[in-house]
């Protein structure tokens, strides 16, 4: 209960520090033994150095703790985390733990390291006015979906790190902390349904970044910035909605950087921006229109419409800004001037040119690995492609898919081959042979660099528009997943 004159802080998941062995907790073996092995060194020497440790871990008698049976169930935390003054509450939320993996530096337990708005009962109640959903409702899928594993029904509860679930109220708590406004709540809840900043905590150390893109009318309703510097600071909706995903990763699953690792190495740099609907060339589909859901009543898959709002979520290893990112490259292309014209061999020859012919070969060289690629593109660059002849996004995807290939030999020498193909033992879909068989019998076998097995694995988002033409390409960021926003109103 709230004491007279003293604000109370609504409860998030409390002290998660003891969950550092969370991989083991997830699989029901909290006392699992492990031996760490450096990644640098000669394999034979590493085996010789750590062989005895591994054998001991496998054969030493089990301790009394290790013989305990049953699955670990974390205790239900109290709803109120802390009671005290505003200053005391801020100090409490800003407390840190020392983490050895960052040279014993302090890492925040409940925040992203920055000051937050104190989530008092009153502020959380006000935030909840932005949705019709009950505060105690557990975050779950609102529409059915169809994926690799078949139909995912509506109503499936979302499981976060360590198999925690969260409620609408807990999402509202993170929204308050991030500085969101009540009208942002439908987007906040869609981000929560998507898993927040990441559902994979623990994950692997990486340079991942997570992006959220809002497609549909709600972006304009909230005053989101689709124009210049859409991924920069300044716009309250863009910045706070990006931040709320990070706070969900921390508070829905106890992700503490360096202690319980996330799959978002740059978690605090999550960004949220809207698709520039007014900047799309005629006939180009919105991201929402490219996405589908499963209609359980008619038992058919349907696409969202231009009037629907969805949030796309994508994560991958590195966002690479356009190597030809200066405005003059593109503004002068149709006149056959500037460096990009020289690169394409059309200097002094006016005309409509496909600027991606200069950009995509560099991607192929940087990473010869097949798969979908995400491009965030300035409206003027989309217009240049439209004028060249691409009257839909799908035509761009197909051209990329059909134009650029890598060989199995090239892929074998890329850094991801062994991980993605299980050391070459998996079957390559188009040939029906294992990757190792292809390497031995047909190393020149061609693979589609952009799209992998399907052109639609690629994705274009038009945003960050109005001035200074540029684009962003994700090295390992494919088509974002889509979560409907409107059911959360």
Q: What is the pLDDT of residues 51-79, one digit of tens each?
A: 888 898 899 999 988 887 776 666 677 88
Checking if the pLDDT of 373 tops 50, the result is yes
In a domain, 88, yes or no: yes
Residues 334, 454 share a domain? yes
Mean pLDDT of 416-422: 88
- Count of domains in the chain? 2
In a domain, 40, yes or no: no
Checking if the pLDDT of 168 tops 80, the result is yes
Count Cβ atoms below 10 Å from residue 49 Cβ, excluding itself.
12
Residues 327, 252 share a domain? no
Mean pLDDT of 375-396: 94
Residues 393, 489 share a domain? no
> Higher-confidence residue: 109 or 23?
109
Residues 333, 433 share a domain? yes
Residues 366, 220 share a domain? no
In a domain, 373, yes or no: yes
Q: To 5 degrees, how large is the angle CA 115–CA 119–CA 123?
A: 125
Residues 279, 423 share a domain? no
Mean pLDDT of 366-378: 89
pLDDT band at 335 (very low <50, low <70, confident <90, very high): confident
pTM: 0.87
Residues 387, 278 share a domain? no
> Higher-confidence residue: 421 or 266?
421
Check: CB of residue 329 under 8 Å from CB of residue 485: no
Residue 331 is predicted with a pLDDT of 78
Checking if the pLDDT of 375 tops 80, the result is yes
User: Containing domain of residue 471, as a range?
Assistant: 319-478
Residues 129, 19 share a domain? yes
d(CA 192, CA 174): 10
In a domain, 471, yes or no: yes
Mean pLDDT of 311-329: 69
Residues 173, 83 share a domain? yes
Count Cβ atoms below 10 Å from residue 349 Cβ, excluding itself.
12
> Higher-confidence residue: 29 or 127?
127
pLDDT band at 282 (very low <50, low <70, confident <90, very high): very high
pLDDT band at 201 (very low <50, low <70, confident <90, very high): low
Residues 195, 330 share a domain? no
Query: Which of 203-207, 341-345, 457-461 is predicted with the least confidence, judged by mean pLDDT?
Result: 203-207
d(CA 349, CA 341): 9
In a domain, 52, yes or no: no
What residues form DSSP beta bridges with 446? 407
Residue 478 is predicted with a pLDDT of 81
Checking if the pLDDT of 2 tops 50, the result is no
Mean pLDDT of 422-434: 92
Residue 319 is predicted with a pLDDT of 58
In a domain, 41, yes or no: no
pLDDT digits (tens, 9 = 90+) for 77-97: 788 989 999 999 999 999 998
pLDDT band at 208 (very low <50, low <70, confident <90, very high): low
Residue 252 is predicted with a pLDDT of 86
Residues 399, 259 share a domain? no
Checking if the pLDDT of 463 tops 80, the result is yes
Check: CB of residue 131 under 8 Å from CB of residue 189: yes
Residue 433 is predicted with a pLDDT of 94
In a domain, 50, yes or no: no
Within 8 A by CB and 6+ apart from 312, the residues are 211, 212, 213, 214, 215, 287, 291, 461, 480, 481, 482, 483
Mean pLDDT of 406-433: 91
Mean pLDDT of 160-175: 89
Count Cβ atoms below 10 Å from residue 356 Cβ, excluding itself.
23
Residues 237, 353 share a domain? no
> Higher-confidence residue: 322 or 378?
378
């Amino acid at each position: 209960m709230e004491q007279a004159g003293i604000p109370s802080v609504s409860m998030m998941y409390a002290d998660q520090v003891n969950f550092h062995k969370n991989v083991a907790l997830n699989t029901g073996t909290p006392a699992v033994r492990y031996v760490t092995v450096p990644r640098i060194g000669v394999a034979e020497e590493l085996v010789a150095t750590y062989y005895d440790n591994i054998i001991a871990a496998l054969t030493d008698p089990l301790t009394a703790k290790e013989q305990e049976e049953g699955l670990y169930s974390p205790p239900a935390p109290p709803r109120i985390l802390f009671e005290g003054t505003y200053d005391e509450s801020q100090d409490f939320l800003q407390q840190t733990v020392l983490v050895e993996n960052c040279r014993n530096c302090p890492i925040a337990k409940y925040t992203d390291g920055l000051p937050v708005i104190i989530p008092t009962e009153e502020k959380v109640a006000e935030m909840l006015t932005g949705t019709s959903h009950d505060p105690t409702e557990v975050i779950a899928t609102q529409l059915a979906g169809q994926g690799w594993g078949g139909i995912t029904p509506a109503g499936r509860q979302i499981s976060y790190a360590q198999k925690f679930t969260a409620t609408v109220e807990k999402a509202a708590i993170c929204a308050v902390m991030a500085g969101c406004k009540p009208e942002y709540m439908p987007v906040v809840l869609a981000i929560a349904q998507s898993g927040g900043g990441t559902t994979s905590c623990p994950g692997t150390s990486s340079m991942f970044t997570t992006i959220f893109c809002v497609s549909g009318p709600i972006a304009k309703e909230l005053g989101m910035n689709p124009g210049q510097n859409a991924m920069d600071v300044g716009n309250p909706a863009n910045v706070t909605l990006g931040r709320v995903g990070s706070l969900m990763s921390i508070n829905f699953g106890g992700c503490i950087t360096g202690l319980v690792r996330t799959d978002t190495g740059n978690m605090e740099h999550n960004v949220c921006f809207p698709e520039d609907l007014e900047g799309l060339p005629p006939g180009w589909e919105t991201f929402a229109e490219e996405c589908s859901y499963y209609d359980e009543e008619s038992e058919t898959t349907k696409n969202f419409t231009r009037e629907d709002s969805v949030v796309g979520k994508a994560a991958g290893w590195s966002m690479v800004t356009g190597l030809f990112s200066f405005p003059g490259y593109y503004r002068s292309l149709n006149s056959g001037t500037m460096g990009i014209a020289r690169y394409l061999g059309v200097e002094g020859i006016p005309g409509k040119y496909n600027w991606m012919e200069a950009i995509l070969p560099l991607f192929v060289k940087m990473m010869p690995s097949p798969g979908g690629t995400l491009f965030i593109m300035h409206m003027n660059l989309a217009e240049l492609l439209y004028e060249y002849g691409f009257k839909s996004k799908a035509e761009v995807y197909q051209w990329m898919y059909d134009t650029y290939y890598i060989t199995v030999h090239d892929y074998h020498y890329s850094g991801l081959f062994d991980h993605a193909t299980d050391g070459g033992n998996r079957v390559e879909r188009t040939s029906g042979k294992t990757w190792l068989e292809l390497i031995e019998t047909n190393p020149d076998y061609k693979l589609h660099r952009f799209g992998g097995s399907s052109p639609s694995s690629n994705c274009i988002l038009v945003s960050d528009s109005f001035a200074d033409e540029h684009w962003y390409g994700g090295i390992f960021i494919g088509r974002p997943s889509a979560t409907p926003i409107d059911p959360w109103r």
